[in-house]
Amino acid sequence: MNLGTTAVSLGGITLGTIIVVLVVQRWWKKGGGGGGKKGDDGGSRDWKQLIPFTVALAYGILAVLAAGPISLLGLVTRFGLWGGDGIGTLYLVYGVGGSSPDVTRAAPVVLTAGGYAVYAIWTAVVIGNYLWSRRLPRLQSLAGILAGILLGLSSGVAGTAAVPLASAVNVAGSWYAGVVQ
């Protein structure tokens, strides 16, 4: 894979899915941080414990679609995509004996100028939360961003989430651009 390109193989999608499944599995097994009594089955799982991961996942999907290759964030995103896709391909091909064809969506999703402004604000919030939050699970957030980067370019289910996500950011950006002008 070339760092300048935005393409993902089945191995990358597989690794992104594995990350999502493992985070949900860990949440399920640990009881999700719910206030259950000792000795129960962890049946009091609190879905709000998955919010930081879900926000990071959505951010990763948007990051791989929006970050230009010339920007610093674009370079970081491309490196994450390249590395994660390579690891996923190695696992899929040499770990379990499968193959890893290209599964990149046909058309990229583009943000408007206001959408990029909202994306820039979201980037600052993600970095700020990572640096200054004591309660935010940092590893879970990084895993969510990586999973989003790997899943955002897929032509399947995760790829279809990119269109409404980018559209929502563009709508918020239109509102924001209208407010600040």
Q: What whole-number distance in Å separates Cα of residue 141 and Cα of residue 123?
A: 13
Q: Which of 30, 23, 76 is CA-nearest to residue 51?
A: 23
Per-residue pLDDT of the chain (181 residues; tens, 9 = 90+): 455 567 788 889 999 999 999 999 988 888 755 555 554 444 557 888 888 889 999 999 888 888 776 788 878 888 888 899 999 999 989 999 988 888 887 666 678 888 889 989 999 988 888 888 776 678 888 899 999 989 888 877 666 777 788 889 999 998 888 876 6
pLDDT at 44: 56
Residue 38 lies in a domain: no
Residue 40 lies in a domain: no
Residue 2 lies in a domain: no
Cβ partners under 8 Å of residue 45, min gap 6? 27, 28, 31, 32, 33, 34
Global pTM value: 0.81
Q: Which of 157, 146, 139 is CA-nearest to residue 16?
A: 146
Residue 22 lies in a domain: yes
Residue 150 lies in a domain: yes
Write out the residue range of the structural domain in which residue 168 sits. 10-31+45-180
Residue 81 lies in a domain: yes
Residue 136 lies in a domain: yes
Cβ partners under 8 Å of residue 133, min gap 6? none
Measure CA 173 to chain center.
20
Q: What whole-number distance in Å separates Cα of residue 10 and Cα of residue 154?
A: 9
pLDDT at 42: 46
Q: Which of 97, 113, 105 is CA-nearest to residue 158?
A: 105
pLDDT at 32: 55
Give the chain's domain count: 1
Residue 143 lies in a domain: yes
pLDDT at 36: 52
Write out 56-121 in H/E/C secondary structure.
HHHHHHHHHHHCCCCCHHHHHHHHHHHHHHHHHHHHHHHHCCCCCCECECCCCCCCCHHHHHHHHH
57 by Cβ neighbours in 10 Å (0-12 / 13-18 / 19+) ranks as: buried
Question: Are 100 and 89 within 8 A, CB to CB?
Answer: yes
